[in-house]
Each structure stands twice: as C-alpha cells, then as structure tokens.
Structure 1
Amino acid sequence: MAEKLPKSDDLKATWSFVEPGLQLILGSDSVATVTPKMYMNVYTAIYNYCINKSRTPTQDSSYGSGSNSTTNASLVGGEIYLKLQQYLIEYIQQLEKKPEESFLQFYVRRWVRFTIGAGYLNNVFDYMNRYWVKKERSNGRRDIYDVNTLCLLTWRDFMFRPNLEILLEEILTQVELQRLHKIELNMEISFAIKSFVSLGFDINDLKKQNLSVYITDFEKAYLDATLKFYTEESDEFLETNGVVEYMKKVDTRLAEENSRANIILIEHTKRPLADVLNNALIERHVEVMYEEFNNLLDQKQTEDIYRMYSLLQRVPPTLEPLLIKFEAYVKQQGLKAVAELKQSQAAAESMGAASKKYQALLPKLYIKTLLQVYERFNEVVYMAFGNNPLFVKSLDNACRDYINNNSIAMPGIDNNGPTVFKGNSKTPELLARYGDTLLKKKAKDSDATADMSADELMNIFKFIADKDAFETHYRRLLARRLINGNMVSEEEEESIIQKLKEFNSLEYTTKMSNMFADMKASKDLRYWFKEQEESDNTDLNIFVLSQTAWPFPQFKQPFTLPDELLGTKEQFEKLYSEKHSGRRLKWLWNLCRGEMKANLARPGKPPFILTVNLFQMSILLPFNKRETYSFEELHEITNLTPEHLESCITPLVKYKLLIQSPEGSENTGKSSTKFTVVKEYKSKKMKVNFMQGVKLDQKHDHDDAQKEIEDDRRSFLQACIVRIMKARKVLKHSALINEVVQQSHARFQPSVGDIKKAIDLLIEKEYLNRVDGDSYEYLA
C-alpha cells in the first residue's frame, strides 16, 4: 500500500489507496498484516475525502437522495458508501473454504475474522458513520446503515442465506454426534449459532436486538431435531430398561442439555427447549412412571421417588395424579396396618387370658400403628418431596382418613370400599386412653411408656375428626387420675392441656384447669379437717369437686353407708356447712375407694392391705361379725342393687378372699348363694387391689362418656344455629346447613340429620320460625 495519501477530491485515487487496507482489515489469505500506520492512513484518506467533498458544492452528493444540489458544508459520503457496499459483496463472494475443511469450520473461521474486521472497519469509516449515515437515517433512509451493520447485512445476504441449508445441517449433525457422545462439545457450534443472533436487525432501531433470524432459521429446526432425537431414544430405551434406569437416564440427559444450552444457546431458547425435553422425556412416558410409583413406595426407595418427583415437577400438571396416587397409597397402608393389628387382636382373644393383657395394650399398640404409618410417609414427604405443601396436604388427608375410619375405629367398615364418616369412630377414645397410659403412674412395668410421648399424642390428635370426643374421654380419664392420685407428674398433665389449647377452643381445657384448682383446694381442705376432727379412727382423704368442671354424674342408686364410716361423714358435713354456708354436698359413692387391713395372713405375718371401692368395703366390713353371709343378707345390709352387688362381689370371689357356695358365676347373683371369708388368705402380694375386676363401673363410664358427647353436641349445634341466625336474621335451609357444618368441622363432623333435629328443637323453643317453606327466620 502506497504511503503517500491520495488527493482528497479524487474518489478513484482514494478508493485505490484504501482498498488493499480494507482487504487486510477484513481478513486476507496473504501473510501481510495490518499495521498501525497503514490503519491510520486508510482512516485519514477516507476522512480527507469526506471533509473535502463536504466543503465543495457538488451534485448528487447525497447517494440518490433526490436533492438537486447542496450548499457549502453539506455532508457527503454516498459515493464512498456505494464503493464500500460493492466491495463487501465481492469480498464475501470470493471467500473459499480449504479442501480439508467442512463448511461449518470454514464458516466459523471466516465469520469470526470477518466480525472482528467489521468492527475495525466501522472505526475506519467513523466520520462517515457519524455524519453522513446519521443524516441519511434521520431523513428516513432505512436502507442506509452504519458500516458494522452494513458488513453484517452483506454477510447475511451473500454468505449466510445462500448456504443456510448446509450450515444448519452441519450444526444439527454436530449436536447429534455430541448427544451420542461420539465427539466432544466444541466452540465452533457456539460461534455459528451466535451468528444467527448477530444477523438479525431491527431496521428502525439498529441498536435493538432482533432475533427473527435466530428464531426462524435456527431455533425451530433445533427444537424439532431435539424432539425427534429424544422421542426415538426414550422409546427405544424403555423397551429394554426399567423405569428407575430410565429416570436416571433422563436426569443425565437433562443435565447434558442444560450444560450444552448454557454454552451454545441464548436465553430465549432455554424455555422452549425445556418444554420440548419435558414433552419427549416426561409427558410422553408419565404413565409408566405412575405405574412404578407404588413399587417405589413399597420398596422405600426414597432417592428414586425424589428423582420421579423432580422430573414430574418440571411439568406441574403431571403432579396432580401423583398426589392422588400418594394419598390413596398412604390411606391403603394405614388401613392395612390397622387390619393386621386387628388380626393380632383376634388371635390374642382366642388365647383367653392373654387377651386381657392385649386389651390393656390396645390403645398403645393402636396409636403406635397409626403413628408408624404417618411417620414413615412424613419422612417420604420431607426427603422425597421437599415438604411440598401439596404433598403435605395429601398426607394429612390420607392420615385423617385412615385414622378416623378403619376396622378398629369403626368395626365392620370395609377397608376396600369408599370411606364414609359415620360419627362413631373409636379413635378419639383410644387416643385418650393412650394419653391415660402415658400419664398414669405404674407400680410395675416402668418401661411400658418409655417409647410413648406427648408429641405422639398430639400428632394423632390433629388428625382426628371428633376432637370433642377425645376431649371428653381425656377429661374423664384425667379426673380419674386426679382423684386416684396416680399421675406421673402435674407438669406433664399441664403440658398436654397447654398443647390442647393451641389446637382447640378453651371450653374443655378451661374445665381441666378448674379440676386442678379443685384438687389444690381439696388438699387445703383436708389439712383444715384434720385440725378440726374430733376422732382419728378413720383416715379420710376427701375431694370436694365443682359439679360444672368434673365429668361425674350424681350417684342416684340406693346405698347404705357402713356404720363404721357414718360418723366421719356426718362430722365432715357439719364442719363443711359451717365453713361454707349455702353449699350443698352431693356424695359420689361410686367413686369412693379405700384401703382395709385384713388380718388373714399366717401367724407372724403382717396384715394384708386390701384396696377396694366403697361398695366392696361395705360388703367386707360385716364379715368382722360373722364368717358367712348370703347374697340376700348382703343386699339388705348394703342396699345396693343386685347388679352392683354382684359386680362388686365377683372380684372378691375370683381372687379367693370370699368362698362362694355353690360355685359358678351363674350362681353369684342368686339370693341363697353363701359367701364365707377365708381364714387364711394366700397371696404373694401384701397389697391386693380388688377394684380392677369391677366391670359395671367401666361399662357405665363408657356409656356416660357417650351420653356426655351427644349432649354436648346437641347443645353446640343449637348454639351454633342461634349464633348464625342472629347474625343473618333470615336464611335458606341449605345455606344454614352448610354454615353449621363449616363452623362445626373443627370439633366434630355433624350429620345433616343431627342438624335438622337441632333446628326442629329451636323451632319448638320459638327461637326460629319457618318462612317460605325453605327458609328460617330468627325470632328471639
């Protein structure tokens, strides 16, 4: 290239001077390189030409702009722009690939060099860009571009477009070979693909990226090829491999595609690529995954369950069937576990004596069985589903189902049939008995509650539908623990009451708190009575309980208190009435118990201590006067009903304190049957409890609890209806039913029949009135 600059007004000389430099800037096969001096000479020659022509009036200096002439200082560049445009076309068309190159290699090699050169060329024509090109575009000429854009557009029209088919084919072939692991990922593909992005332009705003070329000429073909490849591969793989292996393969493929996308693709393609992969690898084969799901749960393959969940999570609609299957499976496993426990129960009952111990353990075994299922699948939800709220809800629904409705909770229920809540589940009662076992002090078998906890109790409590039933049974058992003094600790009791407050209303827990207050007041009262007592023949441990807080109905059966206790009773009543005027004491004889010394041991041995209820005490005390009494005589002495009397005598006979004649349980309640106290009682224990065998009270306790639950529910439903109607004034029948069900579900599940009965009762009490045949009006 000549070093002497051409005349500034000579277009031909100027172009001849700069053309060799342009060749080197854009990339030449010659060994010559661009030097700083040559670069500046080219820049100066173009600058001088544009400056000189702009100062000299000329014709048609605006590149066909239609102007007849320009004034001094007009901007000129059209002639040299045309020269550059033609030169770029010729330059690109003469480019040839080497014999050993593929077209892709040739394209990338020349493209990379060309784009670098285009950037430098843009600087060389900087004056023309800043003045002439800017003026033309501001005049509405959208076919005029800055030099860098002109270079790219020329490449697009004369290199890219004519060779698009072969270029695209070779790119897709390279990608497929990479997917088949036949070649390593190389940057040639990345450069080629990015050229699709660079060759898109917004004519109105050249600085704004336009992906039309990339989307139309590359992305669609790439996605179609991806779908075809993985559709064929996944079908073939599943023909010879299991679902677990397939999911591992999919995981690997997705990771590979993600890595490849980060290197060769732009962000725009990643979402549609993910959709294609999800369709080919997941959606098309989702059914076989569903079929495998239960097997994975059976085999406790948490890692594979997590892998399935992770895949399906990529396509959110596919999770719904998995949720349904998971909920059904948990429910089925819960029902199965309870059915197996029931079979064990039946086997124990067939063994006779062994069934008693089993029955005592049933609440613990039952609750533990329910918990084992919950804890197993709670871990699955945590480990495999990441505590996804949808799966947490499915687990809760399943647990609520099998915990309330199973073959032990509802005898006769069909575990394979649809679940219908019938309102008489035994789970609340068994859970309350579990709590009783946990909190009751045991003389023996201290390890019986070692694996039980209050947290376990609350884990089941949150699922039971009839929370009111649990609270009723729990409160009655708590009352027994309090008056019998066999609590493990008051702190443990209060801890559970506090947890119940967090889950439910304060109504029942307030009653429990009042029970503790009564126990403290009774303790103070006992100290006071001992100080006032005139005789100490009887050690009286008295409890004064408020009738509203404690679940004990008034004892209404006939009973004659033994003479030995009558004086102490009358003395306490007298002193209490003096201390608390206006209060009336009602004695709960059926809850009274005591200890008696029995000098029936061998000579030299200490007396036995007999733990008995008050009725048994009234039966045994007469034997201080005579050795034998008939059933009829004991009936006259105690004034107990024959049913109560027989129930209390039975354990005395069974444990051989009394000898019955004639023998046999069928003769116990006959008037003529004789009972004789033994002269020497034989027992390895010096303290013998005869209360455990009294079954009548146990049956009455259960019946009383059920009656209390039913009464409370009737009262609750009436109060709920009145509260709703007071706010609404007038309401249709169906709307009222729905609102009552909604407000009741946190405590229990009322039947429509029960709600209708409550409505009818309120109509009778004139709280409501029927209007328009299908609505109710609030009256009171």
Structure 2
Amino acid sequence: MPFPVASDLNATWSFIQPGLEFILGAQGDQGVTPKMYMNCYTAVYNYCVNKSRHGATATSIAASSDSNSYSLAGAEIYAKLDVYLTQFIRALKKEPSETFLEFYVRKWTRFTIGAGYMNNVFDYMNRYWVQKERSDGRRDVFDVNTLSLIKWRSEMFNNNSDTLISEVLDLIEMQRNNEIVDTSLISTAIKSLVFLGIDVQDLKKPNLVVYISYFEKNFLEKTGEYYSRESSQYLQEHNVVDYMKKCEARLAEEISRSNNYLEDHTKKHLLDILNKVLIEDHANEMYSQFLTLLEQNETDHIQRMYKLLYRLPATLGPLADTLEQYIKEQADKAIEKVKLASESQAEAKVDGKPTKKSAAGAVDPKSYINTLIAIYNQYNEVVHQAFNKDTRFIKSLDNACRHFMNKNSIAIPTPKAKCKTPELLARYADSFLRGTSKEVDTVDMNPENLMIVFKYLNDKDAFEEYYRRSLAKRLINGNSKSEELEESIIQRLQEENSIEYTSKMTKMFSDMKASEDLKANIKDHVSESIVKDFNPLILAQSMWPFTHMEDYDLNVAPELQAPFEKVVEIYGAKHNGRQLKWLWNHGRAELRANLSKKGKAPFVFTVSNLQMMILIAFNKKSTYTFSELHEIVGAARHTFESHLLPFTKYKLLDQSPPGPENTGNADTTFTIVEEYKSKKLKVNFTSVIKNNEAKQEEDDANKEIDETRRNYLSACIVRIMKSRKTVKHNELINEVLPQTLSRFHAKIIDIKRVIDQLIEKQYIQRIDNNTYEYLS
C-alpha cells in the first residue's frame, strides 16, 4: 500500500490504524511486522513535518524563522489517537471462563507493551508538538505512552476498580490460607495501580495516589481484620508459646509478600497493623506466661517473646518491670536460705545454754557473696541471651541487683541497722587475698566477683573503710598472697570510682616501701644474737586505720631496747619534729624456745608483742607472781591478763593456784615448764587471746564512716553555697543528694544535721525559714 498524501489527515490515519491494531494486540497474539511498524512511523512523521511547513492549525502555536511561516503540527492526529484509544479500551471483552482479574492482567500486560511501541511510532509528535504544548502550559496534553495509561485508567480501571481490588484481596487471603494462587496476577495488578498514578503537573514525579486510595487502604483494613480474627481464635486453641511461633511465621510470610508485590510506602503501615493485631493486642497473654518461662529457664522462648515485643518498644516496659521484680523475689529467697543456714551453724553452747548469734554476724562472707554473684550471673546470662543486651533489661538487672545486694535480710537484719554488705564484701576479699587462707576454701573466690558486687554497693565508702582495715592487717602481718594482686584490685577500685577513693590505700603501700629502707638502715645496729629479724613499720596516722591504745603501753624488755631506740634515733634524724607512737597491739613476733627434749629442734612460738615481753621475762627466772610479772611487762591489767591466759591454757606456764578465776590474783604464781609438750614445733598463742578488739574495731570503723560522711556533706554544702550565695532548703537538698551517690546514699536527716552544724560554725546562716545564705 502506497504512503498517503502527507497533508491528508484522514488518509494518514486510515493508513496507520491497522498497524495500531496489531501493536495494541487487537488481532490476538499476532504482533506488528517490522515493515508495518516502520510504515506507521513514517506516515506520522510525514504528516507532522508537512503540516508544520505549510501552515498551522487553529490550535497550533506559530513561530517565525526568517521570512517563512513555520508551526509545529500534531493536534489533529493527537485528537484522532485520543478517540481511538477510548474506543479500543471500551471494546475489550472478558472471556467467560476467566475472572475479571485474569482478564485485567492479560489485557493490561498486552496493552502496556503496545503502548510502549506506539509511543515510538508517534515519537516525532512527542518530541516536538507535545513537548512544545506542555512547555506552554498545556497540562491536558501528554506523550502517547502517558496518554495510553490515562485512557486505561479512565475507561478500564475507574469503571471496574471495586471488582479488581476485591479479587486481588481475595487472592491474598487465599494465599494466607495456604491455598495455591497465581501470585503474578496479584503482582501485575498492584503494579498497574502504581503506573496509573500519574501527576499531570509533573509526569516525572512518582505518584501513588491510585495505589494508596484504591488498594493500600483496603489491603491494610482487610489485613487487620484477618489477623485479628485468626490470632484470637488461635489463642483459644493453643498456648502462648505456640502462638508466638505462629506470629513469627506469619510475620515472615507477610514480609516476604510485601517484598514481592507491595510498594515501600505500604510496608511500614503493614508492619504497624501486624504488630498491633498480632502483638500489642495480645501482649497481656505473653506477659502472663513470662514468669512461667523464667521459672522454667526457657531462654529460647523468652528470646522469642522479646523479639516479638521489641517490634513495639512500648510493650517491653511491663516485661522489664516484671523481670526486675522477679529477680528481687528470687534473690530474697536465696539469701533467706543463706541466713537460715548461718543461724543454724551459729548456734553454740555457753555455760551449757544455747545461744544464737545474729545472722549478719554469723554469716560466712563467702557463702553470702557467692550467693549474690550466682543470682547476678544467672540473670545476667538471661539478659544477654534472651534480651540481646537490651539496655532496658540491663537497667532492670542493675536495679534489681542494687536492691538485693543492699537491702536483704542479712545486709539489714533490723530496720535501723546499717547495711552489712560492704563489710561482708571486704571480709570476702580478705579471705582470698590472705596468703594464710587454704586454697580449697578460696577456689571459687576471685576479684571479678568482688568488683561485680562493688559496682552495685550503695555505701562504697563503708566498703573502702572495711577493706582498708583488712588490707592494713595483711600488710603489717606480711601475709598478703600477692602484692601485684593487691595493687591490681586497688587499681580497679580506682577506675570504678576515683583516685581520691583509693588515695589512703595507695599511701599505705608507699609507707610499706619506705619502711623497707628504714629496716635496711637499722639492720646493722641490731644484735643478731638476740634479734634475728627486726621489721619496724612507720605508718602515717592519717592514712592507716590504727589508733594508739594506752591499754597496750608496754615496758620494753632490756634485751630489746636497743633496736627500738635505734628506730626512734634514725627516723628522728631524718624527720625532725615528728612524733612516733608504738602500736603494741599490732604486729607479731616469733620466739625460739629451747623447751624441747634433748636432741629435738626448739619450738617456735608466734606471740603478740605483749606476750613476747612476758616470755622474755622468764629468761631471768622461772617463776613470777601475777603482780611481779605485770609490773615488769606493763599494759592495763585486763589486757595483760587476756594475753597471759593462753600460756596457762596450753600449759606453757604452770599456774598456782590453778583456774581462770585465780589468774588475776596478785599472789598467783606462774612457772614456765622445763619441757613443753606439743606435737607441733610451731605454736600460735595469739589465736585464743580474749579481748574486745574486734568489737572496738567495728565501732571505730563505724565512727570513721560517720565522720567521713559528715565531712563530705559539709564540703558539698559549702561548695554549693559558695557558688550560689543564697539557696532555698529544698534546692540545696536536691543538689547535695546526687553528689553523694558515688560514695554513699545520704539520708535527708543527715544533711539537715550537717546544715545545722554549719550554721553553728557560721559558715552559713538562715535568712528565713526556707533559705540559707553563705557567710564569707
């Protein structure tokens, strides 16, 4: 067929229409031939070029170039195409055997392919006439591909949208019910809605208005109804664990479905709906099962519950609260068992009558601390494995640990008692740091446990005081297991708190090293015939937890005066004006006693300083009365008597008349045995000394803690007042409380007392009932 006259619109359209039929699929599966395709393109091109050269139509916009009249043509053929597409789409018919969705997808697929090719046929018109019209503000003119989609939307989709969307949603529900469906039908239909969302103002701008208005809204509504119905029914017939597994499966299915054929815009809304109907609406059922899973240690199921609820962070709050309360309850039960065991072991008989020590006093530090650690480790593992180290649950664990480590039936046996955990922790540390402890008793004790409990202590200052006192004893008695271990723990305490926190302990090590130098200087002045090893220690009074006790003032034996005097001389020469006070109640001595049978090695007695003076006196004569011996040795009478008793108890001294009731009589005599009978060559006489030092030491520690706290509060208050000048009472309290948390939890009543003291000392003054003023 010859090409039509280029200027004849009707002839040109009659020429290209059969080709358009083949391009759009009106002739079934038979497509357009390359020749027919090129003929259509050429005919459109010839028409547009010819019309542009020989004059414009009424709807064309003219442009001048030199002396010739030239205008872009295309309006007439564009109008012809518009009418043709309307008629073509209206003529499409569904086969009796297919659903509307199948018909729609089949025709849409073929139509959009044809529209692409048809767009190329009208390429010249698109590039010149259409582009010119749109640049001049015509928003009712489109390129041929867009025009095709708009016609499809108005003639096919708008008239059948309810049927189409209903059938798509029915197929999705069938798929959810595990029926086999053709998912390509769903995917193609949904994608068509995206293509049909055309913004006539800006054809390049993505527009989901059709997709959202017709599909997304209905899809989300149907999804919510479906899963709300299914979840309620499923929970009536299955347990919570099975339901959680079902939730995981359903969520995975929906995520896969959304990735296959949903737009990104829908995915978030879909997850919100699923989270609402599957998780939030049934969170209470999960909460009710949580305690059971904890009791059964079902970590996997707890993790499953956490992962589901994590999708809605607000639902995790009750779970975290429940965990915190549960840990507290389990800890209380475990600690109560330790308390009961301690009370039963503490029962003793005194004068034939049973007595019972308090649980706090009788409790074994190892059992108590290991119980705290076991509880921490158990639930720390749960938090790490089941809750993926979620900060909410770490906080719950921390809150619970801080509670049960500071407030339990052992830590606070009476309502007004101070917390015993710092003291017990210090005793625990002393057990594994002392070189004299048996390995079997300390096998499961370590610095890690110490630091875990320390982290949760409210009264860290109390621990520092007790730990410092036990450290001091280990240092002066030389029975630390390892100096490196001691220093590493102090370093960790410093990192956990502050340099100030460990300053006294650090200075104690400095004193020990300085004392080594003093010992070396004195060594040359000590007669080894009497003293084999002399180890004097110079301790700074403000750093060490020792006080000079007049009850222990001794008369140094003449044989030993030389080395003691030399210490005073050498130290005094180096540090002029400093005063030395001997701490006779501390320190130990080892004496070699030739009281064995001939041919046997001499005994080695471990004694206190006071006991050493007693035994050295027997070098001069073998028998003394109580008054004679007391006068030689010195010290307070009751102190002297308590150190003398072990010698008579273990038959090193023969007492006459015998009996403890006669020991303190002035004329009671004591005679040293000629041959001491003991299976051990090393005998320790210090372990059974009866005194009140332990009780006195506890009182001193408590006084030191109270005094330190008052000073700390005073410093905080003065610092605040100095910077603020005037502060209201409540504001001052609220500023002081947080500053004390790193060392102890201050009570408001204590802060008020310190304020009153500062007023008395004229650091501050009260200017009305509710305001304080700083006095410079």
- Whole-Å Cα distance in 2 between the matches of residues 370 and 665 of structure 1? 44
Paired residues for 1:360-759 under 5 Å? 362-412=364-414, 424-442=418-436, 445-533=438-526, 536-539=529-532, 540-557=534-551, 559-561=553-555, 563-564=557-558, 567-568=561-562, 569-578=564-573, 580-601=575-596, 604-621=599-616, 638-649=633-644, 651-652=646-647, 655=650, 657=652, 681-694=676-689, 695-759=691-755
Deviation string, structure 1 residues 472-512 (Cα, Å, up to 9, x no partner): 11111111111100011211111111112212232342222
1:109 maps to amino acid = R
What is the rounded CA distance, in whole Å, between the counterparts of 1:687 and 1:145 in structure 2?
111
Which amino acid in 1 is paired with 2:74? G
State the one-letter code of the partner of 2:401: C
Alignment partners' CA distance in 1, 2:656 and 2:392: 68
| Alignment CA distance shift 1:249-1:515 (3 Å) | same
Q: What is the DSSP-based 3-state SS (H/G/I as helix, E as strand, rest coil) of the residue aligned with 1:152? A: helix
Structure 1: distance between partners of 2:365 and 2:270: 56
Question: Structure 1's 39 and 651: CA in aligned 2 closer, same or farther, altered over 3 A?
Answer: farther
- Tell me how far apart the structure 2 counterparts of residues 579 and 151 of structure 1 sit (CA, whole Å): 107
Report the Cα offset of residue 361 of structure 1: 8.1
The TM-score with structure 1 as length reference comes to 0.91
1:21 aligns with 2:19: yes
User: By how many angstroms is 1:337 displaced?
Assistant: 2.2
| Counterpart residue type for residue 536 of structure 2 | I
Amino acid at match of 1:56: H
Q: Does 1:91 align with 2:84?
A: no
In 1, the alpha carbon distance for the partners of 2:552 and 2:438 equals: 38
1:665 Cα deviation from its structure 2 partner: 7.2
CA contact under 8 A between 2:530 and 2:559: conserved in structure 1? Answer: no
Q: Does the CA contact (< 8 Å) of 2:550 and 2:635 recur in 1?
A: no
Match of 1:236 among 233, 237, 250: 233
Shift of 1:117: 0.9
Kept after mapping to 2: 8 A contact 1:306/1:383: yes
1:746 is displaced (CA, Å) by: 0.6
Question: How far apart in 1 are the matches of 2:379 and 2:110?
Answer: 61
Change (3 A) 1:120 1:406: same
How many equivalent pairs are there?
Answer: 763
Instruction: Provide Cα deviations, 1:178-209, integer angstroms capped at 9, x if missing partner.
Output: 11111156222111111111111212112212
C-alpha distance in 2 between matches for 1:164 and 1:662: 119
Q: Deviations over 1:668-690 (max 9, x none)?
A: 77878887766665544321222
Of residues 502-511 and 431-440 in structure 1, the stretch that sits farther from structure 2 once superposed is: 502-511
1:126 is displaced (CA, Å) by 1.6
Structure 1 residue 258 displacement after superposition: 0.5
Tell me, yes or no, if the aligned pair for 1:348 and 1:358 is still in contact at 8 Å.
no
SS in 2 for 1:462: helix
Secondary structure of residue in 1 paired with 2:495: helix
> Displacement of 1:603 after TM fit?
5.2
CA distance in 2, matches of 1:38, 1:296: 74
Structure 1 gaps, min length 5? 66-70, 414-421
Moved more, 658-667 or 196-205: 658-667
Letter in 1 for 2:83: Q
Aligned to 2:65: none
Q: Distance in 2 between matches of 1:185 and 1:635?
A: 109
Which amino acid is the alignment partner of residue 400 of structure 1? R
Return the letter of the residue paired with 1:304.
H
Give the structure 2 partner of residue 186 of structure 1.
Answer: 183
Whole-Å Cα distance in 2 between the matches of residues 593 and 573 of structure 1? 19
Using the alignment, how far apart are the partners of 2:665 and 2:154 within structure 1? 118
Separation (CA, whole Å) in 2 of partners of 1:660 and 1:669: 11
The answer on whether the counterparts of 2:552 and 2:584 sit within 8 Å (CA) in structure 1 is no
The residue type equivalent to 2:545 in the other structure is: P
Stretch of structure 1 that moved more, 712-721 or 375-384 = 375-384
Q: Is the 8 A contact 2:240 2:285 kept in 1?
A: yes
Following TM superposition, by how much is the alpha carbon of 1:616 offset from its aligned partner in structure 2, in angstroms? 3.0
In 2, Cα distance between equivalents of 1:160 and 1:664: 116
Q: Structure 1's 125 and 620: CA in aligned 2 closer, same or farther, altered over 3 A?
A: same
Give the 5 Å matches for 1:228-377: 228-350=225-347, 362-377=364-379
Distance 2:658 2:78 in 1: 129
Distance 1:212 1:668 in 2: 107
Distance 1:431 1:664 in 2: 40
For the residue of structure 2 that corresponds to 1:294, the secondary structure is: helix
Partner-residue secondary structure (3-state), 1:770? strand
- 1:731 and 1:777 in contact (8 A); partners too: yes
1:573–1:585 contact (8 Å) kept in structure 2: yes
TM-score by length of 2: 0.91
- Match in the other structure for 1:68: none
Q: 1:22 to 1:247 in 2, by over 3 A?
A: same
- Tell me whether 356-365 or 177-186 shows the greater mean CA deviation: 356-365
The match for 2:99 is 102
Q: Deviations over 1:430-489 (max 9, x none)?
A: 1112221121102x6223333322222122211111111111111111111111000112
CA contact (8 A) 1:278 1:314 kept: yes
Contact 1:423 1:750 in 2 (8 A): no
**Deviation at 1:581?**
3.5
Q: Tell me the distance in 2 between the aligned counterparts of 1:533 and 1:186.
A: 101
Question: How many angstroms apart in 2 are the aligned matches of 1:365 and 1:176?
Answer: 61
Which residue among 40, 51, 67 is the counterpart of 1:53? 51
Question: What 5-or-longer segments of structure 2 have no aligned partner?
Answer: 63-67
- Aligned residue for 1:418? none
**Partner in structure 1 of residue 4 of structure 2:** 6
Shift in CA distance, 322/678, structure 1 to aligned 2, threshold 3 Å: farther
Report percent identity of matched pairs.
52
Instruction: Mark the CA change 1:741 to 1:603 in structure 2 (over 3 Å): closer, same or farther.
Output: same
What secondary structure does 2:680 align onto? Answer: coil
CA apart distance, 1:80: 1.9
Q: Tell me if the contact between 1:178 and 1:185 (Cα under 8 Å) persists in the aligned partners.
A: no
Aligned residue number for residue 30 of structure 2: 32
Please tell me whether the aligned partners of residues 659 and 678 of structure 1 are also in contact (alpha carbons under 8 angstroms): yes
Query: Residue 542 and residue 23 in structure 1: after superposition, are their counterparts in 2 closer, same or farther (change >3 A)?
Result: same
Tell me the distance in 2 between the aligned counterparts of 1:43 and 1:440.
101
| Cα-Cα RMSD | 3.0
Residue pair 2:149, 2:196 contacting (<8 A) in 1 also: yes
Asked if structure 2 preserves the Cα contact closer than 8 Å seen for 1:461 and 1:467, the reply is yes
